Structure 1
Amino acid sequence: MAYDEAQRSFIQYHVENRKGERRGRLERGHGHAETLFLRNVWWPLRGSFQHLHPEYEVIDWRGRSYFADFAWLLPGKIKLIIEIKGFASHVRDMDRQKYSNELNRETFMFAMGYHVISFAYDDVEKNPDLCMTMLRMVLSRFEPGQARISRTLLAEKEIIRLAIRQAEPIRPKDVERHFGMDHKTAVHHLRNLCARGWLQPFYRGTGKRIVRYELARDFLDYLD
């Protein structure tokens, strides 16, 4: 099934199975940012909308209804909230009370068993590959037997975590010691991460020998 048809069926199914404000919120609140996330990130990564719920209602710590952009719900397992945040509404136009409410809501949701992740609208629009990589890393934690993720990708995800934790550039010997792998395999993973734009190599002198690797500037900007 093509994306456009699948997306229409996905929204129509949820509209038909809701009543009152839950239905009204979906009809009013599912807008451009949410549709862009489905088109640019979720669909290319997953190929279906199974277990995904748009404009998902959650009761906050005040007993008020809050509608998250999406919830990914695996029966009896995980409750993942996904938010798409634009700079204007979530930074520029947010006052202190709204800011406090947002933090309190996310903390309360965590206490209620939800995991909350957020993507910047600008990244969803202009850098969807990074969003897909991040989302793949998150989802792989919760469905290890089903995730579309290879052992190579799992190893590279762990190398990125190691690089983030270190206070200095990562070296092949760091990877070898941490993961108990041989030098050739460590170098292979590091070069793959360079090719994908996550790491950047540094050479010794004017030669071609790579001696260390650092997180790429684009990745650091995303973390900031």
Structure 2
Amino acid sequence: MHPELRRFIDAFEQEARGEGRLRHTLGYAETRFLERVWGPFMNFNFDGLKPEYPFLDFEGGQRFVDFFYSKGPVKLIIEIDGYTTHAKEISKSKFRDHVRRQNRLMYSGWFLLRFTADEVETEEGYCQAELLKAIGYCWTTSAGAGALPLSAGDLWAYRKKAIELYAVQQGDRSIHPTNFAYEHGIGRTTAQRWFERAAEEGLLTSLRRGNKVYGYMLADMRKLSTGRNE
């Protein structure tokens, strides 16, 4: 286990026990989400993320969410659904309660993102891409409503992660600002500027024919494909 993840889990368990919470340990699926999805996606930075967090619903009842993430204008709740718990063995009354809980979360201004435990285990790339979209959506809608924007550093980190995930999805093929711009709904000039900055910071490698750049590739992937250590 990554040392930063170990510290995060230990701190959560110590705080939860100290406060006498009903839930003071992480389940297997939640731990795997941190190991396989959140950790690699956020470079094992857990600032703003709270697991097994209790809150009161509109009727005064205590509820728990698997994770919530609050940073700047982003208010995101993440639920990891195991098949047996949420589908096969759930009663009608529990299912109704589960649906109503989700509605109340949405009314409170939180964006709810759900993954199955199987997706966390076998499709971490998909989960990371959805996480990126959810954070981007929260930022866009909140900023449009007049909320404080993300800091310049956080905003660029979000954009770099979008470029990185896009490059990973393309495998060993080169990536191009035009295609990235189309997929992400931004201008080609803007995408070109992002790619150039990502190359300057070492995330991307420029692919050239003479003096002309014809594409980009993740720097680490470029090393693997050429067999060179740069």
Instruction: Give the TM-score taking structure 2 as reference length.
Output: 0.60
Is 1:55 the counterpart of 2:65 in the alignment? Answer: no
Equivalent-residue separation in structure 2 for 1:91 and 1:17 (angstroms) = 32
3-state DSSP class of the match of 1:71?
strand
Q: Residue in 2 aligned with 1:149?
A: 159
Assess, with a 3 A threshold, how the Cα gap between structure 1 residues 44 and 98 changes in structure 2: closer, same or farther: same
Q: Which position in structure 2 is the counterpart of 1:163?
A: none
Specify the alignment match of 2:9 in structure 1.
11
> Aligned match of 1:37 in 14, 33, 53?
33
Q: Any idea what the Cα deviations from partners look like across 1:76-125, whole Å, max 9, x if unmatched? A: x2321100001110011112111111111111111112211100111100
Give the secondary-structure state (helix, strand or coil) at the position aligned to 2:80: strand
User: Which residue type is aligned with residue 16 of structure 1?
Assistant: Q
Please, what is the CA RMSD of the aligned residues? 3.0
**Partner letter of residue 57 of structure 1?**
P
Q: Distance in 2 between matches of 1:90 and 1:145?
A: 35
Q: 1:101 aligns to what?
A: 97
Q: Deviations over 1:170-205 (max 9, x none)?
A: xx9xx7xx9887xxx9xxxxxxxxxxxxxxxxxxxx
Query: How big is the shift at 1:31?
Result: 1.1
Which of structure 1's runs of 4+ aligned residues deviate more than 4 A? 150-153, 178-181
- Report the count of equivalent residues: 158
* Structure 1 residue ranges without an equivalent (≥5): 157-171, 186-224
Amino acid at match of 1:87: Y
1:85 to 81, 88, 101: 81
> Is 1:41–1:129's contact at 8 Å kept on the other side of the alignment?
yes
CA distance, structure 2, for counterparts of residue 140 and residue 111 of structure 1: 20
Q: Which runs of 5+ in 2 are unaligned?
A: 140-149, 167-178, 193-230
SS in 1 for 2:55: strand
CA–CA distance in structure 2, aligned partners of residues 78 and 115 of structure 1: 8
Letter matched to residue 58 of structure 1 = F
CA distance in 2, matches of 1:51, 1:146: 17
Tell me if structure 2 keeps the 8 A contact 1:140–1:149: no
Q: Distance in 2 between matches of 1:98 and 1:114?
A: 22
Q: Calculate percent identity across the aligned residue pairs.
A: 28
- Indicate if the aligned counterparts of 2:81 and 2:116 stay in contact, CA closer than 8 A: yes
Q: What is the TM-score with the length of structure 1 in the denominator?
A: 0.61
- Cα gap change, 1:112/1:9 in structure 2, threshold over 3 Å: closer, same or farther? same
Q: Is the 8 A contact 1:139 1:147 kept in 2?
A: no
Go from structure 1 to structure 2 and tell me whether the alpha carbon gap of 1:42 and 1:123 turns closer, same or farther (over 3 Å shift): same
Distance 1:59 1:127, change over 3 A: same
> What is the one-letter code of the residue matched to 1:149?
R
Asked whether the 8 Å contact 1:61–1:105 carries over to 2, the reply is no
